[in-house]
Amino acid sequence: MRVGVLTGGGDAPGLNAVIRAIVRKGEKTYRDEITGFADGWRGVLEGMVVPLTSEGTRGILPRGGTILGTSRTNPFKMKGGPEQVEATVARLGIDALIAIGGEDTLGVAQKLFGRVSVVGVPKTIDNDLSGTEVTFGFDTAVQIAVDAIDRLHTTAESHNRVLVCEVMGRHAGWIATYAGIAGGAAYILVPERPFDVAQVCESLLLRHQKGRYASIVVVAEGAQPKEGSMVVQSREVDEFGHVRLGGIGDVLAREIRQRTGFDTRVTVLGYVQRGGTPTAFDRVLATRFGIAAIDAVHEGAFGQMVALRNAKIVRLPLSEAVNSMKTVDPELLEVAEVFYG
Ligand code: F6P
């Protein structure tokens, strides 16, 4: 078969491991010809092909990012976009597509199913896809954040400071919760629980009264105060309607400084969380997803996505996978709360 592969949405460590697995098993077991498309759905719209071979994908397993490039292009935002995708696939003689992406990329795949034969592979550092226990990219982002938080502890202790660490995660608090628990944060703020800044400050004052002069507060970029609304970098939206989040860390630090008098600083981890080499966990999960995706193509399991359930790789309809966002388990938030104050 001739199989097309695309990577869409925010990049994540592990994408190249998926590509490598698809190519290796596709060529070795199925004698497939694998064609990459550059820059997500834009590459399919415009026919921007990147030939993929086992030889050409040697050495990409530990490499972050995606050798195909990615974008947030949405064919349904363009007049005749879906038809153009269908035409490209037909013109190039592509029998099936494997779309690797988050809710947006897989949402497009689900809507295109019927026009094209497509299998989805879930990807996002946010871990907010309901259909799978975890997505590759998440473990790496958490590890990057924890390494940073470990470093923030020593400088905060040296200066008796409160350090606010803003992490990614869009509208879910998975990265903040995992990194906050693993990093020993004094407080963790997530979109799932709009926060009362007075309560945060009370907790920090209590800590400092006990003589612990340094606190790390981890805040997810999508977290918001009870009374206020989300803090965004700009009102502009991408082709899937997402605003650019970010800035809550500054707002929070200012409030803490004003209300407690503590010397407070901010670190925004930003795109560092998406860069560089994937952890071993993400390399293995991404490889398993890639193998399962090419197997699904050959079993005709189109309109479905591979996923992780009870440590096993399963398949489920794309419609199920992209319909609802997976938010942080309240049990995890209760674990974090034990260490506040
Ligand atoms: O979805 C992954 C993610 O990194 C989010 O955590 C973040 O809010 C968003 O992408 C940033 O999007 P962009 O890369 O388009 O700035």
CATH number at residue 237: 3.40.50.460
pLDDT at 284: 98
Q: How many helices (H) and strands (E) does the chain have?
A: 11, 13
Of all atoms in ligand 1, which is nearest to the CA of residue 238?
15
Predicted confidence at residue 202, as pLDDT, reads 94
Identify whether 335 is part of a domain: no
CA dihedral (57, 62, 63, 67) positive or negative: positive
Instruction: Please give the Cα distance from 183 to 272 (Å, whole number).
Output: 17
pLDDT at residue number 212: 65
Higher pLDDT, 236 or 1: 1
Pocket test for ligand 1, best of 126, 136, 231 (most atoms within 8 A of CB): 126
Residue 220: the pLDDT is 98
Q: Is the pLDDT of residue 228 over 80?
A: no
The pLDDT tens digits of the residues spanning 119-136 come to 999 999 999 999 999 999
CA of 10 from ligand 1 middle (Å) equals 5
Mean confidence (pLDDT) of the chain: 95
Say yes or no to pLDDT of 67 above 80.
yes
Whose CA is closest to atom 7 on ligand 1? 170
* pLDDT tens sequence across 8-36: 999 999 999 999 999 999 999 999 999 99
Residues 292 and 305 in one domain: yes
Is 337 among the domain residues? no
Q: Is 169 a pocket residue for ligand 1 (Cβ < 6 Å)?
A: yes
Q: Residues of 86-102 as b/e, b for ≥16 C-beta within 10 angstroms? A: bebbeeeebebbbbbbb
Which CATH number covers residue 6? 3.40.50.450
CA distances from 201 to 46, 150, 151, 229, 252 (A): 53, 22, 23, 19, 10
> Domain check: are 295 and 257 in the same one?
no
- In this structure, the answer to whether residues 235 and 283 fall within a common structural domain is no
Residue 42 lies in a domain: yes
What is the mean pLDDT of the segment spanning 58-72?
Answer: 98
Residues 120 and 154 in one domain: no
The residues near 247 (Cβ < 8 Å, ≥ 6 apart) are 231, 232, 233
Looking at the structure, tell me whether residues 101 and 188 fall in a common domain.
Answer: no
Residue 327 placed within a domain = no
| Residue scoring higher pLDDT (324 or 144) | 144
pLDDT at 266: 98
Dump pLDDT digits (tens) for 293-340.
999 999 999 999 999 999 999 999 999 888 889 999 999 999 999 999
**Domain check: are 194 and 297 in the same one?**
no
Instruction: Clarify whether residues 14 and 123 are in a common domain.
Output: yes
pLDDT of residue 322: 83
Q: What is the pLDDT of residue 211?
A: 78
Per DSSP bridges, beta strands 49-52 and 33-37 are: antiparallel
Mean pLDDT of the region 98-113: 97
pTM of the full structure: 0.96
The answer, yes or no, to whether residue 37 has pLDDT greater than 80, is: yes
User: For 273, which DSSP code?
Assistant: G
Q: Are strands 215-220 and 187-189 parallel, antiparallel or unpaired?
A: parallel
What residue numbers bound the domain in which 68 lies?
A: 2-136+278-322
**pLDDT for 213:** 74
User: Which of 73, 129, 190, 242 maximizes ligand 1 atoms within 8 Å of its Cβ, making it the mutation to test the pocket?
Assistant: 242
How many domains does the chain divide into?
2
User: Above 90 in pLDDT, residue 184?
Assistant: yes
The values of phi and psi at residue 164, to 5°, are: -95, 130
Is there a catalytic annotation at residue 126?
A: yes
Identify the pLDDT of residue 341.
Answer: 85
- Does 206 map to a domain? yes
- What is the 3 state secondary structure string of 96-108? EEEEEECHHHHHH
Q: Which atom of ligand 1 lies closest to the CA of 168?
A: 6
Section 85-99 average pLDDT: 98
Same domain, 43 and 90: yes
